[in-house]
A = this chain, B = another copy of it.
Amino acid sequence: MQIACLVYEGLTALDIMGPYEVLCRLPGCELRFVARRKGEVRTDTGVFGIVVDHAMAELPHPDVFVVPGGLEGTFAAARDEETLAWVRGAHATSRFSTSVCTGALILGAAGLLDGLRATTHWAAAPLLEAHGATYTEERVVREGRILTAAGVSAGIDMALHLAAEIADEQTARTIQLAIEYDPQPPFDSGAPSKAGEALVAAARAALTQSAGSMRSGLQRAPRR
């Protein structure tokens, strides 16, 4: 069982780290990070890099793959023919094809979501629907062997569903305990329906500004 976590320039780190931390604990699974080229990839904030050991071309047919989201980086990846060809090729033979957050826009651009129910980050719902999908306000949406998860942190929940499918419920529960995933957020503002209009507007503004301002605030070492 080969699992590929796609990484690309400008991804949101938690989108892939959540599923990774669950799926790397599946017994008998070989999990790899892949990118267009092996080497360093920077996240959306530019704060750190992720070193990827495998070019996507080395893993053309993983059993499972996870596509994370991001901001501008995701829009670029969704226009990149090499990335889209890899997604299509991987999906042709995969057991499960999955996305987190705006990673769904990459699945959509590859033509995988046309006519299906799917989810994405709440702020990206219209962009998802432009790919022929019906945005569904659920934490994880399954359509056959395609699983899409809502924004950023939803990948952890999605990966636990996936772990139960790939192995069994007992294994998924064991992983949940191993990562002590007993969430107790101090507030209940994690979804637009719970947060109210003012917070939705503030979060929408923050989403477009935070990564950019973070990057410009860094005086970091030159990229390699």
Cβ contacts A to B, 13 pairs, < 8 Å: A13-B21, A24-B45, A27-B206, A31-B45, A54-B220, A152-B180, A153-B179, A157-B184, A164-B187, A173-B195, A177-B203, A180-B191, A183-B183
* A17 at the B interface (CB under 8 A): yes
Given A53-B220, A173-B187: A181 in contact with B152 (beta carbons within 8 A)? yes
Given contacts A51-B224, A175-B203, 15 further A-B contacts (CB under 8 A): A14-B20, A17-B17, A25-B206, A27-B213, A30-B218, A139-B184, A151-B180, A156-B183, A164-B186, A170-B199, A176-B185, A177-B199, A178-B210, A181-B185, A182-B194
Contact with B along A166-178 (1 / 0, CB 8 A): 0001101111111
Segment from A32-40, A74-82, A85-93 that makes contact with B:
A32-40
Q: Is the CB of B50 within 8 A of A49?
A: yes
Q: Is the CB of A172 within 8 A of B186?
A: yes
Copies in the complex: 2
* A73 at the B interface (CB under 8 A): no
Q: Is the CB of A30 within 8 A of B182?
A: no
* A161 at the B interface (CB under 8 A): yes
In the bound complex, residues from chain B placing their C-beta under 8 Å from that of A164 are: 186-187
In the bound complex, residues from chain B placing their C-beta under 8 Å from that of A14 are: 17-18, 20-21, 179
Within the complex, what minimum Cβ distance (angstroms) separates A136 from chain B? 14
In the bound complex, residues from chain B placing their C-beta under 8 Å from that of A199 are: 170, 173-174, 177
* A187 to B170 alpha-carbon distance, docked (Å): 10
Question: 10 tightest A-B contacts by CB?
Answer: A151-B180, A182-B190, A49-B51, A183-B183, A173-B189, A14-B21, A152-B179, A17-B17, A177-B203, A182-B191
In the bound complex, residues from chain B placing their C-beta under 8 Å from that of A24 are: 45, 47, 210, 214
* A25 to B217 alpha-carbon distance, docked (Å): 12
In the bound complex, residues from chain B placing their C-beta under 8 Å from that of A195 are: 173, 176-177
